[in-house]
């Protein structure tokens, strides 16, 4: 079997800006204080795509502006090329918010939507006498995997309140026997960095 790794010739105009590529997704990161503006960088990407006979899907192209949660003076910049500006965006399965908080990611994937359905499923399986070991596999596959996914990337941005909600979910899973260990969110985060 032969694997070929190709290095892209797409690069930023400024060394202060960054481009991250994953399969067919490209992410451009431009800090506030840079020598090349985001619109110039985006024009460069469009020119590169045209030269390489690629089509940018501008309908799927989104812009998110990150800012400190309690910024006293914040001016939202104008969007580039009429690209939709969002206050949150999903990037590789993690919902990022412009205010650097992780509430949407936690509520969507860990605390509310996912566990409500999965907890009902686990309860049904338990009433049908599924062995605890197999219930644990289901809980780890459907709940714990969502908590652990990209945890080092988003875990440090979690507020104490949301960490408490995750701890409550972990206690609930343990109390009903769906997971054996009495886990805490901070322990999971510390372990994920090792």
Q: What is residue 126's predicted lDDT score, i.e. its pLDDT?
A: 92
Q: Tell me the pLDDT band of 25, cut-offs 50, 70 and 90.
A: confident
Contact 125, 118 (CB under 8 A): no
Average of per-residue pLDDT values in the chain:
86
Give Cα separations from 9 to 3, 17, 48, 52 (angstroms).
Answer: 19, 15, 9, 10
Tell me the per-residue pLDDT of 145-192, one tens digit each, with 9 for 90 and over.
888 898 998 888 888 998 898 998 899 889 988 887 888 999 999 888
Mean pLDDT of 123-136: 92
pLDDT at position 178? 87
Q: What is the mean pLDDT of residues 83-104?
A: 88
User: Which percentage of the chain shows pLDDT scores above 70?
Assistant: 89
- pLDDT given at position 76: 67
Please report, for the chain, how many H helices and E strands are present, in that order: 8, 6
Listed in order, strand segments (DSSP E) in 31-190 are 62-64, 84-86, 88-91, 94-97
Q: Rounded to whole angstroms, how far apart are CA atoms 143 and 129?
A: 20
The pLDDT of 52-66, averaged and rounded, is 89
**Mean per-residue pLDDT, 82-100:** 88
Q: Are strands 18-22 and 62-64 parallel, antiparallel or unpaired?
A: unpaired
Per-residue pLDDT at 15 exceeds 90: yes
Cα–Cα dist 30/104, whole Å: 23
Cα 10 to Cα 25: distance, rounded to the nearest angstrom: 13
Say if residue 75's pLDDT is above 70: no
Domain coordinates in residue numbering, the chain:
18-86, 103-192
Cβ–Cβ under 8 Å, residues 12 and 41:
yes
Cα 2 to Cα 71: distance, rounded to the nearest angstrom = 51
CB atoms under 10 Å from CB of 129, counted, come to 6
**Rg of the chain, C-alpha, whole Å:** 21
Instruction: Enter the pTM of the model.
Output: 0.74
Cα gap 19→11, rounded to integer Å: 7
The answer to whether residues 19 and 26 touch, using CB atoms and an 8 Å cutoff, is yes
Going by pLDDT thresholds of 50, 70 and 90, the confidence category of residue 13 is very high
- Per DSSP, the three-state class of 97 is strand
């Amino acid at each position: 079997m032969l694997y070929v790794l190709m290095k892209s010739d797409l690069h930023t105009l400024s060394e202060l800006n960054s481009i991250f590529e994953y399969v067919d997704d490209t992410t451009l990161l431009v800090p506030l204080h840079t020598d090349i503006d985001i619109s110039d960088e985006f024009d460069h990407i469009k020119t590169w795509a045209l030269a390489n006979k690629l089509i940018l899907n501008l309908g799927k192209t989104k812009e998110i502006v990150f800012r400190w949660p309690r910024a006293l003076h914040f001016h939202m910049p104008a969007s580039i090329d009429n690209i939709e500006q969002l206050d949150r965006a999903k990037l590789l399965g993690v919902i990022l918010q412009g205010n650097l908080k992780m509430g949407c990611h936690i509520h969507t994937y860990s605390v509310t939507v996912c566990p409500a359905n999965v907890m009902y499923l686990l309860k049904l399986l338990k009433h049908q006498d599924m062995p605890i070991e197999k219930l644990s596999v289901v809980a780890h596959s459907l709940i714990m995997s969502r908590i652990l996914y990209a945890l080092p990337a988003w875990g440090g941005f979690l507020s104490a309140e949301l960490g408490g909600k995750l701890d409550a979910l972990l206690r609930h899973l343990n109390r009903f026997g769906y997971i054996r260990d009495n886990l805490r969110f901070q322990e999971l985060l510390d372990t994920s960095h090792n």
